[in-house]
Structure formats: structure tokens, C-alpha cells
Amino acid sequence: MKVSFPYMGTTVVYKKLLEMLGHEVIMPPKPTQHTINLGVKYSPEFACFPLKVIMGSYFEAIQRGAEVIVTSGGHGPCRAGFYERVHRRILETEGHQVDFIVFDSMFRNRKTFMENVKRLKGQTPMHRVIHALWLVYDMIGKLDHLEKQVQRIRAYEVNRGETTRVWEQIQKMFDQAYTKKALSEAFNKGQEMISAIHLKQVDKEDRIRIGIVGEIYVVMEDSINMKMEQLLNSLGAEVERSQYLSQWVTYNMLPKWMNWSHEKKILQKSDGYLPIQIGGHAKHNVGQMIDYSQRGFDGVVHLMPFGCLPELVSQSIIPKINEDYEIPVLTISLDEQTGIANNQTRVEAFLDLVRGKHQEKKQSRNRVTESVTQRVSPTG
């Protein structure tokens, strides 16, 4: 089959799995303004931004020869659960007969999940399927580990753009790894390349850390979020996302009785503010903001597609979290009409605010330390 998928984040892992299952992979191009314009043209006006971008991405993949699209589902009030139906109907209206394979958590509907697995594996022997799954799962974890380092050290790079170029080279190396040995070599080489990047020396107590939360697509796909990670890094702030593919896979693949993944702990922290699941990642984002505050982060950037119901709910809870945990949060709404220059100015102003608060906390700690030192030191 000629198979494609939505472009989101580190696409090398999706490509790798489908290739190892014997499919011809049609890589969707990274979303551009043309992709967005294409999606906006054919999507309902009030559909959320990810639906429109993915719609444009599908048209581009079909133009390259895609026959089957593999994607994920959703649940609750979040409209992501209906993406496939809307996309399929639009494509059929435009004369494109494309098949969809939609994966949701195996614990919601095990029968449908296994049917999709059988369709996707085709004639591939089961031992090769298991090998592919384990290799790709290992690859996801290793790539996330390296990406977290990139998001931290890029804030201190001496040569602007060097860290991003290294990260792109690392992804290409992983794309060529088809065995456990090759994957391990790619990971070790990636570590060496990251360690060789020239960095400015910044004291630990002077470092600014910003968390990014929001709807998973706009958080993980930098082509539609103004390259938020790189923007914050360029302003001297370390970054950590609320969503990483390895965490999402672990949470959705392990049964509840043995699932003690990062996401489950985060969801528990949100119970006091949002006790039920309302779809999307609203509950997760509320818990993640609390976690960032407890871990000493200086601020949070909240990315939400315009009109996204779950994120509107989480946005309404932010003032209470800010009051209880004293962590600044900047919400940025994203759609096809987003003013990039305006939002970049807002991010810069937010970083100035965060730095001011960080400096106040540092001075307060120093005063406390000096006071304690004076009380315990012997008098002359």
C-alpha cells in the first residue's frame, strides 16, 4: 500500500514503522502556508485549526500518490474524534477515494484496534511486526531523550542555529537505522554531536525554564506554532513540552492496572481543578501547569487552536492555578489568521515579566540566606 499520515513532530518514527511493515511510505510535506491555505479552502469555516492544516496535508500527500492514510482518533467533546469522517467526506467530494486506518487507544475498543493492526500488517509475519514495534518504540524514547537535551541547550548556543542543524542531522541518522545495533550507534553519535555544541556558561540559578502546554498538534508541530520552542530558546529560555510521543504511546498502550506513566501522575494532579476527562488534553494540561510550578519552572506558554473546546476550558482554569501556584501563564490562540509578529512581541514581553519575577525570587533567596548566615555566625 502507498501509505501516508498527518505530519506532526518527529515524523521519522511513523515513516520507519510503516516501512518495516512493508508499505511504500508517501511522506507528507512539512506544513507550509500553501498547506494551510489548501486546508482552509476545503474545510468548514469554524473547524479547529489542526483539522484545517491536516486537511491541507492530506491533499498534498494524495497529490504525491497516497492511497491509505493512517491516523489517530479522539474522544469526548474534542472534535478530533470526528476528523477522519470530516476529512473523508471532503476528499470524496473532491473526487479522492482514499482509505483511512484510524487508531485509538486499544483499551477503548480492543476489537477495532486489532482489526486495524491486521489491516496495517498485511502479509508481514508476526515476528517481523513485533520486531518493528519494539525497534520503533525504542527509537521514540531515544529521540525524545535527545530532543529534550536540544530544547535545553539551544538557549545557550554560541553559534545561532547550530543546535537545530545538529538535531536535523540526528533525525536523518535515525532514519537510516533498521537494527537495534544501528539504532544504538545513532543514539551514541547523537549524544556526541550534542555534547560538541559550543555553549555559553550560565549559572544554574540564572537559568529561565518555560513549559509549553496545549492541544497536542499545535504543541508538537513547530510549523504551525511559530516555532515556539526555537523562539523561546532564542530569547534565552530552556523549554520543555507537555507532550512527547514516547509518553503518549506508553500511556495509551499500558493497561490501567500497571500504568504508572508520567501522564497518569500528571492527570492526578489536575483532579482538584478538573476532576473529569472532557476530551483533548485539557485535564493533562491543567495537571502539567501544576507540575511545572512544583518543579520550579518560571512560566508556561499555553498554545490553543482558536475555538478548541477543551483548551477553552483549561484556559478558564488558568487564573486559579496562577493564584494558587504563582506561575505566570501566557495563552496564545492559533489559527490561519494568527499575527506572527504580534504574538512574538507578546512572547518577548512575557519573557521580560518572567525574568523580573525570577530575579525577585533570586534576591529573596539571597536575603534569606544572608539572614540565616548572620544568625548562625559567631560574633566578634
Arithmetic mean of pLDDT, 271-281: 89
Per-residue pLDDT of 339-358, as tens digits, reads 888 899 999 999 999 999 99
Report whether pLDDT(361) > 90.
no
pLDDT at 305 over 80: yes
Q: Mean pLDDT for the chain?
A: 90
- Which of 74, 94, 124 is a domain's end point? 124
Confirm whether 228 is domain-assigned: yes
The mean-pLDDT minimum among 8-22, 196-210, 336-350, 363-377 falls in 363-377
Last-in-domain residue among 124, 155, 170:
124
pLDDT of res. 256: 66
Contact 147, 167 (CB under 8 A): yes
Looking at the fold, whether 100 and 235 belong to one and the same domain comes out as: no
Domain final residue pick, 94, 124, 154: 124
Query: Residue 141 domain-assigned?
Result: no
Total structural domains within the chain: 2
Q: Tell me what the mean pLDDT of segment 299-316 comes to.
A: 91
> Higher-confidence residue: 144 or 367?
144
Residue 179, domain member (yes or no):
no
Once rounded to an integer, what is the mean pLDDT over residues 307-318?
A: 90
pLDDT for residue 192: 97
Q: What is the pLDDT of residues 125-137, one digit of tens each?
A: 888 989 998 999 9
pLDDT greater than 90 at residue 103:
no
- pLDDT, residue 380, reads 45
Domain that residue 18 falls in: 2-124
CATH number at residue 84: 3.40.50
Q: Tell whether 369 and 226 lie within a shared domain.
A: yes
Q: How confident is the model at residue 378 (pLDDT cuts 50, 70, 90)?
A: low
% of the chain at pLDDT higher than 90: 68
**Judging by beta carbons within 10 Å of its beta carbon (0-12, 13-18, 19+), is residue 217 exposed, middle or buried?**
buried
Q: Beta-carbon neighbour count of residue 343 at 10 Å?
A: 18
The reply to whether 71 falls in a domain is yes
**Could you give the CA distance from residue 280 to residue 294 in angstroms, rounded to a whole number?**
24
194-199 average pLDDT score: 97
- pLDDT tens digit sequence for 30-51: 999 999 999 999 999 888 899 9
Where residue 196 falls among pLDDT bands split at 50, 70, 90?
Answer: very high
231 and 353: one domain? yes
Q: What is the mean pLDDT of residues 168-177?
A: 95
